[in-house]
């Protein structure tokens, strides 16, 4: 009879996520994962089968959290430009409050690209969901008159996602909050009416 697990798997995924987020996929060793999760090497491998499988779980977990947070802001009351401005403000505040680690998805794209495996698929799926959410907000902005007419919502979504990624990279290199807010303001002025 197998022994029942004596740890919270979700908490282990969350802890491993922070290790990967801080150090990157390649630089995070099995020992780092054991230290982060409080699990022994055999428990890590018995539960998650491999470092790559655990990374996939952490990336999926992170993506779900990020999408839920962004969705809550972009689907809140107000004009599209107000919601986009709130999204940028929340992003900069998050970076300044939580150690300037950037975004796990952006960091992974920079480190690994989009490999032809489950990691690449998770990255592509996250991008598609983010773009769909941003494009819907852009469509609403054209309708409520807060965004410039004549812009393709898909193009606006790509621009916004690129700005989000750029702000995350700015944070990692140590840019000031003022500089990040200035970039966000410039991006908003490019699409706002």
Residue 105 clears pLDDT 60, i.e. is over it: yes
Residue 6 clears pLDDT 80, i.e. is over it: no
Domain count for the chain, please give it.
1
Q: For residue 104, what pLDDT is reported? A: 95
In a domain, 73, yes or no: yes
Q: For 91-100, which contacts have Cβ atoms below 8 Å and span 24 or more sequence positions? A: 91/164, 91/167, 91/168, 91/184, 92/167, 92/171, 92/177, 92/180, 92/181, 92/184, 95/167, 95/168, 95/171, 95/180, 96/171, 96/177, 99/22, 100/171, 100/172, 100/174
What is the mean pLDDT of the segment spanning 68-75? 97
Confidence of residue 1 (pLDDT cuts 50, 70, 90): very low
Residue 91 clears pLDDT 60, i.e. is over it: yes
Percent of the chain with pLDDT over 90: 90
CB atoms < 10 A from the CB of 26, how many?
10
Q: For residue 8, what pLDDT is reported? A: 86
What is the mean pLDDT of the segment spanning 53-68? 96
Q: For residue 146, what pLDDT is reported? A: 96
Residue 31 clears pLDDT 80, i.e. is over it: yes
CATH number, domain containing residue 74? 1.10.357.10
Q: For residue 57, what pLDDT is reported? A: 96
In a domain, 14, yes or no: no
In a domain, 123, yes or no: yes
Q: For residue 4, what pLDDT is reported? A: 47
In a domain, 156, yes or no: yes
In a domain, 69, yes or no: yes
Confidence of residue 131 (pLDDT cuts 50, 70, 90): very high
The whole-model pTM stands at: 0.91
In a domain, 80, yes or no: yes
Range of the domain at 157: 59-191
In a domain, 170, yes or no: yes
Indicate the SS3 state at residue 114.
Answer: coil
């Amino acid at each position: 009879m197998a022994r029942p697990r004596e740890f919270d798997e979700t908490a282990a995924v969350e802890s491993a996520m922070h290790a990967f987020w801080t150090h990157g996929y390649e630089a995070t060793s099995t020992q780092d994962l054991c230290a982060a999760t409080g699990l022994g090497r055999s428990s890590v491998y018995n539960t998650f089968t491999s470092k790559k499988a655990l990374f996939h779980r952490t990336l999926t977990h992170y993506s779900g959290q990020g999408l839920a947070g962004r969705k809550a802001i972009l689907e809140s009351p107000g004009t599209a430009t107000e919601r986009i401005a709130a999204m940028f403000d929340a992003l900069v505040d998050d970076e300044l409050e939580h150690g300037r680690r950037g975004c796990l998805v952006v960091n992974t794209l920079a480190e690994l690209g989009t490999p032809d495996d489950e990691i690449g698929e998770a990255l592509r799926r996250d991008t598609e969901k983010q773009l769909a959410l941003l494009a819907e907000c852009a469509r609403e902005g054209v309708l409520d008159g807060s965004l410039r007419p004549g812009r393709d919502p898909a193009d606006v979504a790509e621009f916004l996602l690129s700005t989000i990624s750029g702000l995350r990279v700015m944070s990692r290199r140590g840019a000031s909050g003022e500089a990040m807010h200035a970039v966000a303001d410039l991006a908003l002025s490019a699409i706002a009416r």
